[in-house]
Structure 1
Amino acid sequence: MNVDASNPRSVPRNPVPGPHNCQVDTGSPALPCLLDRPGALLTSSGRAAILLGLESLALSPDQRVLVPSYHCPTMVSPVLTLGHRLGFYPIAADGRPSLDWLEQHAPADTRVLCVAHFFGLPLDLRDLRAWCQRRGVLMLEDCAHAMFGQGEGGAVGALGDVVIASLPKFFAAQNGGLLLVKQPARPVAPLEPVGLKGQLKATLDDLEISACYGQLGLRRVWAAPLLALKRMLRGGGRATPTSAAPQPARFDPAGDYARIDVKLCHRAPTRAATRAALLTSRGRVIARRQQHYRAMATALANRPGMRPLFPALAEHSAPYVFPLWVDDPDPAYQALRALGVPVSRWDWLWPGVPDLAGDQGKIWSHHVLQLHCHQDMSDQDRNWVIDALLTYRRS
């Protein structure tokens, strides 16, 4: 199969809403899920969960939050929005925080250590937990990439004082996050419900996405006139899937991507997002992601100019993305996005991330592409993504 650059393929970047999400596969694997944890609070987004979690700790302004050098800006902006001091720490080749660096260089005012399970691959955080306890530091366990899973240190989210997650990364939800706080110094206030207009918009948006990818099912009987009315009010034609827009060359910390709407952070998720998270058949989510990851790892091994960052997928994990190291990533990234390949990259680090000895974070931000491998990609979609990568390397 060859990839035609003049005819991008419509591969969904995220899980697609529709009744297929509720189909039960009794032969699929089961893994611990954060949704089952007692006290789990659903929020409007993952970044909202971080902000609410930090608020619940009642930190003073002179206390510092350390985040990994490899990060999404949405991990950083809640810290600065609340007026806390910010610091960065290096990560090792396995994605774990550098314990040696923390032992020797962690600032004395550090109060919170944010640790992330990158790509949905569970980390063993027991030694980090022990370090936090010795230093009187609280652990914020960022499970935005790891709604499911269990590693040698236990289930994801088991060791954090604060645990956060993101619904859209694993379910057909357009918004939503999850927050767990073990011993809040300040209780999280009740979240403001979404109004009728917002609920209706979320439902119509879901239906529109379902229609774009042929997943309306029997709902098309009553959804079609609603979508026609929405198109008429919008003044446009039928919505069609589009490829990702080109990224600006530079990251703007004051831009929309990093900006925090504090009022929105204190709002509940929509009912559509909540239903998507709670009613989805989890076995299908886990099984399909594992299948895609392993197929990509096999197909992209021993290829010139690229390599799987973590070729072996742990049995008890449900990956968010497939991390691929690319030697010359800049032209590849833009070319793949233009083709419609569902790929992301964390090249937008927050300004001021230092160069730290032995750090893999800044290296990953340049060289590692995150290939989406969610459950609503078909085998044909996945094979097309693989072929797009191989065709690009041959060109």
Structure 2
Amino acid sequence: MPLDYWIFDPSTCQFPKPRVPILPSTFDYSVSSNEKSAFPDIGFRHFSRGRYALGEAFRLAGVGQHGALLAPAYHCVTMLDPALALGAPVLLYSLKPDLMPDLHSLDQIYAESTVPVKALLATHFFGLVRDFSRLKQWADDKGIVLVEDCSHVLFTERYRACGAGLYGKFIASSPYKFFPCTDGGLLAAQDAHFLDGVKTESAGLLCELRGIKSTIEKSRLPKLSKNDLEQIDRRLDSLVFDSLKPGVDQRIERSAQSIQYSPASATTASLLSSRWLTSHSSATNNLSRRQENYRRWVTALSDVPNCHVLYPEIPAHAAPYMFPLYLNYPTPHFYWLKLLGLPVWRWDEMVVSDCAVAEDYRLHLLHLPCHQSLSEDEMGWMVAVVRKTLALPVVGVQ
């Protein structure tokens, strides 16, 4: 079934490479005995990316040509790609402003579906674990498999963020987003027998060597210095007086998965080196550094105009994946931030839906790094870039 997508093409913008790594780049070898958690009743399978773990979860749930997937309207396309690769109808449910599922929307979409709904995808956005107990009850009542998306959650074989993995029959996560790995996806199941018959293949020796090389190179990337901090005002002045070259926002229709999903990689296991890094990195330090950086963002932006923090407060046990910041005026602020080299993501390629929140957040909600590898100079530079850019007046644009 073809889907309508909004796609943002930034090719005319001439954005430079980010000046700071958006994902972890350095290895923290420190594992204490109290970090080693065992999940004896849970089964695990390793994949090269979380999207392929999701694909296997969808397949096991019965998603396909005759089985639909319910997915959140605010999404990265790789959350939907696995279902499209299976030839399945994808139905998007609405979200509330805090990105919790709208149960009324779920009821309506389920009632109107002409294809049996086989799976419901529920996402813990930005690493903040949510209470999906009502959602699980809703799915159980209708005989739908709940797939818990922990791709933004610190969830590995050894460590599970508090509250994660309690709701889904299947759980998918992306450890590489929390550790300096080349790759890494994980499929877990509440009962190990649910994964009987799930097989993956080794990536091979050459890929292992390339992965090690990539990890070493990533750890040696040049760091920012105080001199970079002093150049922000000069760069901003030049950008403000330059004519803005906005990207192209277009609407297209497609029925297949995006180029970010490779069917040839769907059954490839994660690299052994990636698994070693994940199992030998300190989850405790990871969590504490991320919380520290997240709260630094909150404090630094509390008085900044033209924006607001989506989640000003986070639980004490949270391991945030990214820092979500809402921009009042993506034009020009998003462009200026990108042109300054700020490492920032936003989900501007998204399926069109009736969800007002998804439609709004698509271009307005930024994902800023708060990972454990960030140095003091890097955090200081990013905070200064955002504060100075968003303080600039916006005239005649929306």
- TM-score w.r.t. structure 2 length? 0.79
Provide the rounded CA distance (Å) in 1 between the counterparts of 2:100 and 2:271.
34
Deviations 1:47-70 (CA, angstroms, capped at 9, x unpaired): 111111122224452221011010
Q: Which residue of structure 2 aligns with residue 340 of structure 1?
A: 341
Aligned partner letter, 1:41: R
Deviations 1:91-128 (CA, angstroms, capped at 9, x unpaired): 01221110122233324522211010011111110000
Distance 1:9 1:189, change over 3 A: closer
Contact 2:47 2:53 in 1 (8 A): yes
Aligned partner letter, 1:120: G
Q: Which residue of structure 2 aligns with residue 228 of structure 1?
A: none
Q: Which residue of structure 2 aligns with residue 298 of structure 1?
A: 299
- 1:11 aligned to which of 9, 20, 23: 20
Give the superposition deviation at 1:78: 0.6
Is structure 2 residue 289 aligned with structure 1 residue 282? no
Is structure 2 residue 375 aligned with structure 1 residue 378? yes
Q: Which residue of structure 1 aligns with residue 165 of structure 2?
A: 157
1:66-85 mapped onto 2 (5 Å cutoff) = 66-85=70-89
Give the superposition deviation at 1:256: 9.1
Distance 1:85 1:199, change over 3 A: same
Provide the rounded CA distance (Å) in 1 between the counterparts of 2:96 and 2:16.
40
Give the superposition deviation at 1:378: 1.5
1:1-395 mapped onto 2 (5 Å cutoff) = 10-18=19-27, 21-23=28-30, 38-59=42-63, 61-106=65-110, 107-108=112-113, 109-148=116-155, 155-182=163-190, 187-213=196-222, 249-250=249-250, 258-350=259-351, 353-356=352-355, 359-395=356-392
Provide the rounded CA distance (Å) in 2 between the counterparts of 1:186 and 1:16.
32
Distance 1:373 1:33, change over 3 A: farther
Aligned partner letter, 2:366: L
Deviations 1:251-273 (CA, angstroms, capped at 9, x unpaired): 87689954422221101111221
Q: Which residue of structure 2 aligns with residue 224 of structure 1?
A: none
Contact 1:251 1:348 in 2 (8 A): no
Contact 1:161 1:181 in 2 (8 A): yes
Distance 1:159 1:33, change over 3 A: farther
User: Which segments of 5 or more consecutive residues in structure 1 lack a partner in the other structure?
Assistant: 1-5, 215-245
SS of match in other structure, 2:176: coil
Contact 2:26 2:373 in 1 (8 A): no
Aligned pair count reads 348
Q: Which moved further from structure 2: 166-175 or 95-104? A: 95-104
Distance 1:31 1:382, change over 3 A: farther
Distance 1:247 1:38, change over 3 A: farther
Deviations 1:355-382 (CA, angstroms, capped at 9, x unpaired): 24xx422212121111111000123211
Give the superposition deviation at 1:337: 2.1
Distance 1:335 1:64, change over 3 A: same
SS of match in other structure, 2:350: coil
Provide the rounded CA distance (Å) in 1 between the counterparts of 2:35 and 2:105.
33
Provide the rounded CA distance (Å) in 2 between the counterparts of 1:257 and 1:175.
19
Deviations 1:123-153 (CA, angstroms, capped at 9, x unpaired): 11000011011111111111110125989xx
SS of match in other structure, 1:365: helix
Deviations 1:59-90 (CA, angstroms, capped at 9, x unpaired): 45222101101000000111011011110000
Provide the rounded CA distance (Å) in 2 between the counterparts of 1:22 and 1:247.
42
Provide the rounded CA distance (Å) in 2 between the counterparts of 1:266 and 1:101.
34
Provide the rounded CA distance (Å) in 1 between the counterparts of 2:35 and 2:334.
32
Give the superposition deviation at 1:24: 5.2
Distance 1:60 1:172, change over 3 A: closer
Distance 1:33 1:314, change over 3 A: farther
Distance 1:63 1:266, change over 3 A: same
Contact 1:129 1:159 in 2 (8 A): yes
Provide the rounded CA distance (Å) in 1 between the counterparts of 2:274 and 2:286.
16
SS of match in other structure, 1:360: helix
Provide the rounded CA distance (Å) in 1 between the counterparts of 2:330 and 2:170.
34
Deviations 1:167-215 (CA, angstroms, capped at 9, x unpaired): 221011121101013467673432111111111111111111122248x
Contact 1:31 1:317 in 2 (8 A): no
Contact 2:305 2:391 in 1 (8 A): no
Contact 2:67 2:118 in 1 (8 A): yes
Give the superposition deviation at 1:247: 7.5
Give the superposition deviation at 1:38: 3.1
Provide the rounded CA distance (Å) in 2 between the counterparts of 1:257 and 1:268.
21
